[in-house]
Chains A and B, each alone.
Chain A
Amino acid sequence: MRCIKNKIEHNGSGSVTLCPVEPEDMWHAYNLIRPGDILRASAIRRVTTVQDTGSTSSARVHLNLVIRVKNLDFDPQSSQLHVSGQIINETPHTKIGQFHTLDLELNRNFTLEKEAGADGEGAGWDSIAIESLKDAVDEGGKRRAEAVAVVMQEGLAHICFIGQFQTIMKQKVEMSVPRKRQGGGDHDKGMNKFYKTTLETLLRQMEFNTSLTSGASNEPVRPVLLASPGFVASGFQKYIQAEASTTAPGLKRLLPSLAVVHSASGYTNSLSEVLQSPAVKTLLADTKYARETKLMDDFMEQLRKETNKATYGPREVESAVEQGAVGRGGGVLIVSNRLFRSQDIAERKRWVGLVDRVRDVEGGEVRILSSDHESGRRLEGLGGIAALLTFPVLEEDFDSDAE
């Protein structure tokens, strides 16, 4: 995302003009735009005019619309963001108050304005929002190339794109591979077919050009991680090598970027294991993702030790923060960004307040995990919020919290 114009005031109000350039930027926009914000973007609207004679004519007109956001709809598979709301500017073709859904498009600027109402109407540009904006605007160009992971087991493969902020499960390949049977059987044949289908799917998803003649040959290739229990992944690698040396020489470009790692199963659950493997660590070292994964592992480890120096769940964490356990000297608040995406402004304020308190008052560390990553998903299981504490906190009974 490129920041075109930044006019954020000290009181938290103001606007920014942004230009999304990558599909992942849509995800950032999804995290930035909240209901109640004012969004200006270009739109195409079909306008129907009724003549005096009663005949109607409709035309598609290009407009710049300003809407007050009501709702957001994000499709992670195709990285599309649809923002719906009521129009607040007047144009020759639309009336104020009409509803419109803006589809944000790549390489088209949009302006986002947040209002900081004195009476707590809007949340404005709070600390989380500004942090999200920083994440979104890649100033130093430090963004790492994303990786592709194929997590597989016999007859099952998940093709995932691991980005800086999200992991997208692009496609699942599922096939029934006959098991080994007394006296041969079709197991090898079935596996070959499975490899073939998986490779085809992978190349399609990567938009990998296998032709040698095209100018695509010097395109950079993203690293591809093949992960599986047993020998499925290495079998797949062998298959790709065999294909490259026989039928599809264009695949040779892909070979150096292949890495085989171990995973416990072919489901996306085991992505965390994939990302901790040494091969991947060198690849994605010091990315947000790797840090997040490590953090979650530390947390789980602490929890396992049963030292009461780790806690999870909204009420528990809040209580721990009250007690000052998430402070200087190792206190870490881990929050899933899903909590900030809440439709309810009060809810968001609650979490932003907590984060601000830990960071500014208590002096603890705050890590906001992407709910679209594997580590974020683990955190989701724990209620979206967890904390590593500086001292053990006695567990309280939160029976009332049994929603």
Chain B
Amino acid sequence: MSRHRIKDVDYDDDDYYDDEDDYTPDPEEQELLQQCTAAVLQQLGAGQPPVTATKEEVHDALWHYYNDIEKSVNYLKGKRLKEASKLKKPEIQPVSAYPAPPPTAHFSAADFFRDCPWLNIPSHRKADILVEPLYPRLGLLGGAPEQGAKPSKLAALAAARKKKEAEKGQSTPQTSTTSKYSSDQQSAPLSVRERLALGRATGKSSEGHSGSLQRLAESRPSPSSAIHHAPVSETTPQSVRERSELPQRKLEPTEVLDRHPVPDLHAEPSEFAKVLTGLAASPTTAYPSPLAPGNLDLMKIYGYDAEPFDFSEPSPDDIVLNAQSTSKGLKKSAAAKSAGGKKGQADVAAEMKDLSVEDKVTVKSKHLDVLSEYKKSTRKRSANFVVIGHVDAGKSTLMGRLLADQGAIDQRTLDRYRREAEKIGKGSFALAWVLDQGSEERARGVTIDIATNQFETEKTAFTIVDAPGHRDFVPNMIAGASQADFAVLVIDSSVGKFESGLKGQTKEHALLVRSMGVQKIVVAVNKMDTVQWDHGRFEEIEQQISAFLTAAGFQQNNISFVPCSGVLGDNISRRTENPHASWYTGRTLIEELETSEPYTHALEKPLRMTIGDVFRGGVQNPLSISGRIDAGSLQMGDQILTLPSGETATVRSLEVDGEPSDWAVAGQNVVLNIANIDPIHLRSGDVVCRPSSPISTISSFTAKVLAFEHLMPMQVDVHRGRLHVPGRISKLVASLDKSSGAVIKKRPKIVGPGVVVRVVVEMDQAVPLEAPTRIVLRAGGSTVAAGLLE
């Protein structure tokens, strides 16, 4: 592209120089020309044999011989003679120097040099040919001379000689001579370009290129080529240097008159430049060697395409230097921008230093107004729910079925799981494998850690948080429950299992989710197929669980029961066809899920996000953290602060529910790809916030908790989401009335289950906690209390 542009410019440049010379003829000159023309025509007509010439030819000749009538006549006569001889040899028909509308024959360099013996020369010789300067050495000649600057001796000498030569053809004004020379001299390289242009236009036949060339050829034929229509045989003293043109380079003189004046936009080449280009160009042109045309086209063959240098442009060196400086400038400006605002040169320099020392990643923030973006966005309403229940109640299988039914998992993957599960003799676990991705989980058939997965119905985008049921993994379940808007409690309806579950994690989980603020609970009475869809069994479970949940603080209208079978898929997405289940006419599980109300989150509050996981996101994201935003909003390029480490990081990019996004708000599950922090400062359970409004880290707090078991000054584990730290209850401040919160007894020695008590908890290390937040206290593998930080 750039070649193309430069080429056009150069043609124009040539025009301009000549325009200046020829297209400001004063009336005097015009008159002189008319007189001379008449004289020439007369002499031609009078001569033996009479020669006819068009007025234009005469004009041209006169112009060349500086209105010397005699010379012009001679020239025209000679020209006619030559034309007559040429007619006998049509194979050397004159060809326009410009590519007239695409030539018929395809241009080929090999064809072009078919008869040139030098093509067979050894390759090392060719290299020499290339080295030979074809053009004036570029980039040596600076720009126009400064005002008053003295030209060098050489320049002065050359200029003087040229002046002398010019004075020989006295009739034209002194000023035009130098420019004329320069244009003449430049015409030599021009011929190269013309040929190249021809080759390129035909070879590549690129639309724009050839088009522009054609336009040039038709409307503005180069005057410089017109100038050189003088025959080769002619050897007048003035033109000895210029007459190196090949015969076919002649143009019809008429074309000269078609030129239009174009204002000269370029500075004139310096005196020195003109002289030197003239001198440098001459050797190749003055003594045309057989190598010369080869040189020209070797350039073409090798794709090299140097241009005669136009000194109005910056030198190549200048271009390179400029490019370097601008690219540096760009970097600087980017750095400055990232630092937020324009800074002085010194600041920029300092920042450059920073950049070079620490390999910091800078991300440009889009400075979105996240909240208004959020309001504008047309996302489906989203809901997170946690799946809880006793171990082996079928939580993972139920959710695997749900995902499979909703098309979140393709059949092929499912079949693969089924095959692999059967291979290790756990065929019934195939659906659970959708969520149990860990190798240990699969080998043991037990969910160990929470798994999140998404699926969408027409109305809502759901995020499943599948929690482990085993008592050892209750900490993980707490992490999952902290991300949930509502809960699905899965109950094993088979004989014996329900009863053991009620004593076990069914109870603990239900209490935990309630104490973590979950209001709505859907009870999926699973494995109904194992009890033949016994209505009595369902009612029994419903009654017991309902009583228990109401006691735990759930409201009756927020509890719903669905009898289902996860492994068969009955009443999950579709109604069961089992005749024994005809008594159930209520909603299926998925319908029940859809009744959930939209949940509001603290969007306006300062950013808080508990890190759920720290991992390597991939090659592009060497460090990623995931979690759910508890409060506030976040966007790409934000600075974040992680506590308790107190280190800052930059959000490179972020994903919301697995989709890349520019921003995220509270309630969304996000993955943040971060930079400028060492992973050693990040642990799951840490809190991400803004440097402007950091969360406080504390090592002691007072909390109002509901005791699940006896509380006394004891060692406990403090849980909040993923955060899990050891601590101890140092003091029981007072037992409180459940509803009013009034103090019942100060400093009790011990409190029993079900009592609300204010406690002071001390921890060994400072952790990021702030009121109001829900905490869970565990000891010896069971939950002893849960409540609110004060």
Contact = CB atoms under 8 A, between A and B. Distances in A.
A398 B731 CA distance: 14
Contact of B778 (A186, A262, A264): A264
Interface string A157-184: 0000000000000000010101111111
B220 interface: no
Interface stretch (B77-85, B548-556, B711-719): B711-719
Interface string A238-275: 00000000000000000000000011110111101100
A7 interface: no
B453 interface: yes
Interface residues of A, number: 45
B253 interface: no
A235 B440 contact: yes
Interface in B705-748: 710, 712-717, 724, 726, 728-730, 746-747
B749 interface: yes
A265 B476 CA distance: 12
Contacts of B4: none
Given A180-B437, A180-B451, A265-B475, A185 B726 contact: no
Interface in B744-760: 746-747, 749-750, 752
Interface in A360-374: none
Nearest to B434: A182
Interface string B751-790: 0100000000000000000000000001111100000000
A196 interface: no
B615 A188 contact: no
A312 B749 contact: yes
B439 interface: yes
B615 A229 contact: no
Interface in A383-403: 383, 395, 397-399, 402
Contacts of A182: 437, 451-453
B744 to A, nearest CB: 14
Contacts of B613: 178-179, 181
A219 interface: no
A304 B780 CA distance: 15
A179 B712 contact: no
A378 B714 contact: yes
B299 interface: no
A402 B747 contact: yes
A397 B745 CA distance: 10
B497 to A, nearest CB: 21
B456 interface: no
A303 B750 contact: yes
Which of A182, A311, A382: most chain B CB closer than 10 A? A182
A306 interface: yes
A330 interface: no
B712 A176 contact: no
A230 interface: yes
A395 B749 contact: yes
Contacts of A382: 712-713
B715 A378 contact: yes
B449 A179 contact: yes
Interface in B438-492: 438-441, 444, 448-453, 470, 472-473, 475
A311 B438 CA distance: 48
B501 interface: no
A281 B682 CA distance: 39
A202 B439 CA distance: 26
Interface string B536-550: 000000000000000
B472 A229 contact: yes
B710 A264 contact: no
Contacts of B612: 179
Contacts of B716: 269
B679 interface: yes
Contacts of A398: 747
B714 A381 contact: yes
B481 to A, nearest CB: 16
B615 A186 contact: yes
What is the predominant secondary structure among interface residues of chain B facing chain A?
A: mixed
A273 B781 contact: yes
Contacts of A178: 613-616
A383 B680 CA distance: 37
Contacts of A235: 440
A107 to B, nearest CB: 35
Contacts of A264: 472, 717, 778-782
Contact of A273 (B714, B717, B780): B780
A327 B135 CA distance: 118
Contact of B615 (A185, A381, A383, A402): A185
A180 B438 contact: yes
A187 interface: yes
A399 B616 CA distance: 55
Interface in A293-349: 300, 303-304, 306, 311-313, 316
A301 to B, nearest CB: 10
Given A269-B715, A382-B713, A180 B441 contact: yes
Interface string A74-114: 00000000000000000000000000000000000000000
A194 to B, nearest CB: 13
Contacts of B749: 303, 311-313, 316, 395
B684 A229 contact: no
Contacts of B717: 264-265, 267, 269
Contacts of B710: 303-304
Contacts of A176: 614, 679-680, 682-684
Contacts of B475: 229, 265
A312 B730 CA distance: 13
Contacts of A395: 749
Contacts of A229: 472-473, 475, 781
A398 B439 CA distance: 56
Contacts of A300: 712, 714
Nearest to B439: A188
A116 B631 CA distance: 66
A226 to B, nearest CB: 14
B451 A230 contact: no
Nearest to A158: B726
A377 interface: yes
Interface string B580-608: 00000000000000000000000000000
A316 B437 CA distance: 54
Interface string B653-689: 0000000000000000000000000011011100000
A381 B729 contact: yes
Contacts of B728: 381
Contacts of A230: 448, 470, 472-473
B478 to A, nearest CB: 12
B437 to A, nearest CB: 5
A24 B377 CA distance: 67
A208 B451 CA distance: 39
A305 B717 CA distance: 23
Contacts of B714: 300, 378, 381
A180 B468 CA distance: 13
A188 B450 CA distance: 16
B616 A186 contact: yes
Given A182-B437, A230-B470, A268 B726 contact: yes
Nearest to A377: B715
Closest 4 CB pairs of A and B: A264-B781, A229-B472, A178-B615, A267-B726
Given A273-B780, A300-B714, A378-B714, 19 more contacts: A179-B450, A185-B437, A186-B616, A231-B444, A262-B472, A264-B472, A265-B781, A269-B779, A273-B781, A300-B712, A303-B710, A303-B712, A304-B710, A304-B750, A311-B749, A312-B712, A381-B730, A382-B712, A382-B713
29 contacts: A174-B683, A176-B679, A176-B680, A178-B614, A178-B615, A179-B450, A179-B613, A179-B615, A179-B684, A180-B437, A180-B448, A181-B437, A181-B615, A188-B440, A229-B781, A231-B444, A262-B472, A264-B717, A265-B778, A269-B717, A270-B780, A270-B781, A300-B714, A303-B750, A304-B710, A306-B750, A306-B752, A381-B713, A382-B712
